[in-house]
Structure 1
Amino acid sequence: MSTLKRTNNLISKYNLRINKDLGQNFLVDDEVVQRIISEAEVTDRTCVIEIGPGLGTLTFPLVEKCKKIVAIELDKSLSSILLEEIKEDNFVLFNEDILKIDMNKVIMEFDKNDEIIVISNLPYYITTPVIFRLLENNFNIMHYVLMVQKEVGKRLTGKPKTKDYNALSVLMDYKTKTKYAFTVSKNSFKPIPNVESAVIKMKYLPVDLNIKNDEKFLKFISDIFANRRKTLVNNISASYHISKTVLNEYLEKNKYKITVRSEELTLINIANIYKGLFENE
């Protein structure tokens, strides 16, 4: 049965009202489903954490293909439908919020040496908080394959000196190896959203920058991108009350232009500037 037909059947069978407040747009494109599963490198040894399974577009084929799948779904109606429709022993569902659930409880559903991956069609309004949550503690997850808004996908994989490069791009460079896998047309969803989507593949792979205080460094990354129209000096001065004269002298001494903007700097540049200003005292 095609994904579109199954989705329509379930909506009709359970008289389901789509909750737009939860960003519910169900993927109904079989080709995209297969591309996601292929990108995720799912085998019969793979264990999957699926965030936001919705009406099971990915869940149904994953149950047949992987060793075990643990789904996390906030919507009570969708959770009830999935539990009614999927009776396989390798399927577990938590009707909880991904931003609040105890992830240790989720991980305990798997065996110690299981190969665990995360697959998700994220509601766009929680994309960034979810990614931050996943990166807080990786739990030895092999990789993540996430559907996000196209614009966000571009930012997550943005490179210096491009319009897509921002604080999130730097964070991803610092904590992960992330690639933009492919674009997904808005016509691949029901109901049709206003924007296109993208699938990204992310592996937790932190870069050792010899940073003493990671929390302060992450704040620094955010602060220097606070206003893209301002120079690096102006952004740092505004956030840390360091005089522009001192900052200009520091940049010139370290062979940076005093007019440099944050989007021109690589992760290594940013780390070196941060350490020079705050950790080499």
Structure 2
Amino acid sequence: MNNNVPEIGSPARTKAILNRYRLVAKKSLGQNFLSDLNILRNIVTAADVTADDNVIEIGPGIGALTEQLARKARKVVAFEIDANLLPVLDDTLMDYDNVKIINQDILKANLPEVIRDEFEPGHPVKLVANLPYYITTPILMGVLQSNVSFDQIVVMMQAEVADRLVAVPGTKAYGSLSLVMQYRAHVEVAFDVPRSAFIPQPNVDSAIIRLTPREPLPVMPYDDKALFGFVKGCFAHRRKSLWNNLQGIFGKQPEVRERIQTVLQRVDISQQLRPERLTLINFIELVNAFHDEGLM
């Protein structure tokens, strides 16, 4: 390792790499290059990456975060969709023999298979990434439903999306995304990232989100996918009452309306409430009750 070469994430090295390879950030891929070493190191710290950890990274770019991960982790496997960045990564990360780059769209990857093939069993697996903002939600949903038990997930995303992930009932940001994420994991904001930390500078601020496996809930839904679909339906018209949204899901026939009222009375939830007033447990109790009633 050449100790005289600045780290990849320093502003000077980032600009030098971009100039050398004549790279221009592709808006279509949500590319912005993080060039603040303190923030890069803090991301690794937030994930508590150790020499025993295997790490999945998404969108390594020119390798700034990858380098910081490689210095701490047992092995890093990074998914990069942009083939033009492969020779750049081969160059910038040549000193790290514990890094493998896979040229593939993470949404099309078989994560369990990759982890089985690339990592030795018996070691923690973590996901650490600066996510492309335009597909943050699909990536997180795919990861959380991939049947991979990540010990820790630490990702950067648009601050507005981060607010939705950690939102609580009764707030404007609270919605179906909040509920689905909080059903899967304990979600918290680790720290904020200003737009000035990137080259080129994006139009939005960012935040680092940490997701950790949650303890089993006191009540579990009869089916995960049924819960997610039900929650989405309840927030289809968030300014309308729960009663109106439930009729949108199940129908407005008199017999159906009567059964909806029966379920609401059984779980002791007012039909006049708006969906954003309900907790995760409320939604689980509702989906189970509608299933018992034969409506799901």
Q: TM-score, normalising length from structure 1? A: 0.94
Query: What number of residue pairs does the alignment pair up?
Result: 281
In structure 1, the partner of 2:269 is: 256
Please tell me the residue identity of whatever aligns with 1:16: L
Instruction: State which drifts further: 238-247 or 117-126.
Output: 238-247
In structure 2, the partner of 1:70 is: 77
What percent of counterpart residues are identical?
Answer: 36
State which of 42, 64, 71 in structure 2 corresponds to 1:57: 64
Separation (CA, whole Å) in 1 of partners of 2:160 and 2:238: 17
Please tell me the residue identity of whatever aligns with 1:92: K
1:138–1:204: 8 Å Cα contact kept in structure 2?
no
Q: How does 1:72-87 map to 2 (within 5 A)?
A: 72-87=79-94
Please tell me the residue identity of whatever aligns with 1:89: D
Can you list the C-alpha shifts for 1:20-67, whole angstroms capped at 9, x where unaligned?
111101111122112111101011222111111111111112222211
Give secondary structure in 2 for the equivalent of 1:117. strand
2:259–2:293: 8 Å Cα contact kept in structure 1?
no
Separation (CA, whole Å) in 1 of partners of 2:267 and 2:121: 48
In structure 1, the partner of 2:102 is: 94
State which of 196, 199, 205 in structure 2 corresponds to 1:187: 196
Shift of 1:157: 1.0
State which of 197, 215, 232 in structure 1 corresponds to 2:225: 215
Instruction: State which drifts further: 224-233 or 247-256.
Output: 247-256
Separation (CA, whole Å) in 2 of partners of 1:181 and 1:117: 16
In structure 2, the partner of 1:174 is: 183
Q: How does 1:28-177 map to 2 (within 5 A)?
A: 28-87=35-94, 88-107=96-115, 108-177=117-186
Please tell me the residue identity of whatever aligns with 1:106: V
How big is the alpha-carbon RMSD for the aligned residues of Structure 1 and Structure 2?
1.7
Separation (CA, whole Å) in 1 of partners of 2:157 and 2:38: 17
Structure 1: stretches of 5+ with no match in the other structure: none
Can you list the C-alpha shifts for 1:163-188, whole angstroms capped at 9, x where unaligned?
11100111112111111111111111
Give secondary structure in 2 for the equivalent of 1:139. coil
Give secondary structure in 2 for the equivalent of 1:58. helix
Give secondary structure in 2 for the equivalent of 1:99. helix
2:221–2:285: 8 Å Cα contact kept in structure 1?
no
Whether 1:272 and 2:285 are equivalent positions in the alignment is yes
Separation (CA, whole Å) in 1 of partners of 2:224 and 2:89: 40
Shift of 1:198: 0.8
In structure 2, the partner of 1:232 is: 242
